[in-house]
Structure 1
């Protein structure tokens, strides 16, 4: 059986400006802004929510199935997915379109100026969940607005349980629309900031939102995560990374761990620990899909983190 990954595919072009933006922007001329930044360092990464989640789930042998739209420039990404044995049968090419692309310029203070072109992503509704076979679980991640609505509804009508991960797509929906998603979803995953936005838009507290799904997952960055399920809250500690290099795609890696555990009916502490492990492994490398641990290496990081957690708990109890 497959885990269906509905979301975006994108190229991330990342440029580094070896200075501070503030040194080149005149406050009194902001209304006639015209600046150019010399960026000798540039790299292009494969990204997008669907690509990142599927890549991490494949590392776990989780049988992901990507459903997304791409442009006519997608060939290098296709080659990458094929190289990593990822199923591309439900990636639809949109004629005359570019693949979604983010152009990110970062200065030495880690300030960022980003331009995002959605491209083929806005046509994600041209894909249908009905065309995917042998699906036991799905995730509805940030994508084209119409596509997110359609895929959530199709999953619900087909009886396919799904994780709703609104992420960067939150601004596209009002409170009533978010509640429609949540009423159909089995699981809801957000970060701390997004959880506050959803509470503000829906007028519901975290506890009230949790009552509408089987599990509400809130990630807290370096403070770990919380999973509201079974009428209680499970506090999942952060797994310490070998080094902190780039947070890009950490949330997607975390979600891959969740999906893997949910499919296998693991308890929530175990799901959360694996999710945290995947996030910690990802943050130690640049980009969303450049880490390549083996299953054995993932198990080692998971086991070591669990041992540290157990020791800490025993010391706290003594």
Structure 2
């Protein structure tokens, strides 16, 4: 299976606030919020949703093409991705902008306040799936992850025109999308990814009920943090998969991207949805234990231990042939 992952490529500035955001917010002043949090740690790391997913897929052995836009400062980052097995030949390099920036502060309860600067991402529409297929062959799946909103729309249209199955992952961009735009991104998706909050926001944007969403997307995966993931399909009962528990979570940024990479790598291997989701949850548990979305070390043996401890011996046996080569 050959997967193109489209979306943001960014540098992450990750800060830690030792208190709780909620303690600083006054309920009767929500219309006039003016706050500053003194962070006690700053980490600068490679990131971006598309790059995170692509790297996770590549580390799990899935052939992966990264499609997006980066700045003239991308040289070192691009080399890092290529060293980890990601095809970056189809990344558009802007002459005028720096690579996007994600600036995020996390409190002690793992709540986050973040700002995203688009930078080179405003030119993302110049990286197309048509050019990928013309230059390097057919694609089996495209992930349409958070990106320049116009690029997300055009990439989704390309998927339909070229007959490429696609995964819709509007995530953070739901805040900027209109109802019609959101509906266009979801219609016909093989997979739809949201977290629990985004699921409610997507329903508000589209005006669709949960059942109606599943009339337009084949499979809807709703991640719920430590509560695991719910998987919905039209005509089937919702399936719940527990998360892999983590004793000491370190940094939640990129955990959802890791789940997506693990799940799609499982689909690549022909796993049933439940087993693919377990692999996604196992990879997410590894990422949450390090600072940075791409800093984790991947070990098949470690993933199998986490899977066996959470889901049982038979689940680990089923996944072992797919993870031993790691």
Question: TM-score, structure 1 length as denominator?
Answer: 0.86
Deviates more, 1:106-115 or 1:96-105: 106-115
Q: Is 1:165 aligned with 2:164?
A: no
1:33 deviation in Å? Answer: 6.8
Distance 1:231 1:97 in 2: 47
Distance 2:301 2:109 in 1: 37
* Mapped contact 2:100–2:118 kept (Cα < 8 A): yes
The within-5 A match list for 1:118-157 is 118-132=118-132, 133-157=137-161
1:131 deviation in Å? Answer: 1.4
Could you give the per-residue CA deviations for residues 135-168 of structure 1, whole angstroms, max 9, x where no partner exists?
1111100001111111111111111111101000
Partner of 1:44: 44
Partner of 1:211: 215
* Mapped contact 2:152–2:185 kept (Cα < 8 A): no
Question: TM-score, structure 2 length as denominator?
Answer: 0.84
* Mapped contact 1:17–1:108 kept (Cα < 8 A): yes
Aligned residue pairs total 308
1:71 deviation in Å? Answer: 0.6
1:70 deviation in Å? Answer: 0.2
1:77 deviation in Å? Answer: 1.0
Distance 2:188 2:52 in 1: 24
* Mapped contact 1:161–1:185 kept (Cα < 8 A): yes
Structure 2, unaligned stretches of length 5 or more?
A: 316-326
Partner of 2:299: 294
Q: How well do the aligned residues superpose, as a CA RMSD in angstroms?
A: 2.9
Q: 1:155 to 1:39 in 2, by over 3 A?
A: same
Task: Select the structure of larger CA radius of gyration.
Answer: 1
Matched residue of 2:243: which SS? coil
Could you give the per-residue CA deviations for residues 79-106 of structure 1, whole angstroms, max 9, x where no partner exists?
3213322211011101110100023345
Matched residue of 2:90: which SS? strand
* Mapped contact 1:234–1:268 kept (Cα < 8 A): no
Partner of 1:104: 104
Distance 2:290 2:70 in 1: 25
Of the three residues 229, 241, 256, the one matched with 1:251 is 256
Q: 1:158 to 1:16 in 2, by over 3 A?
A: same
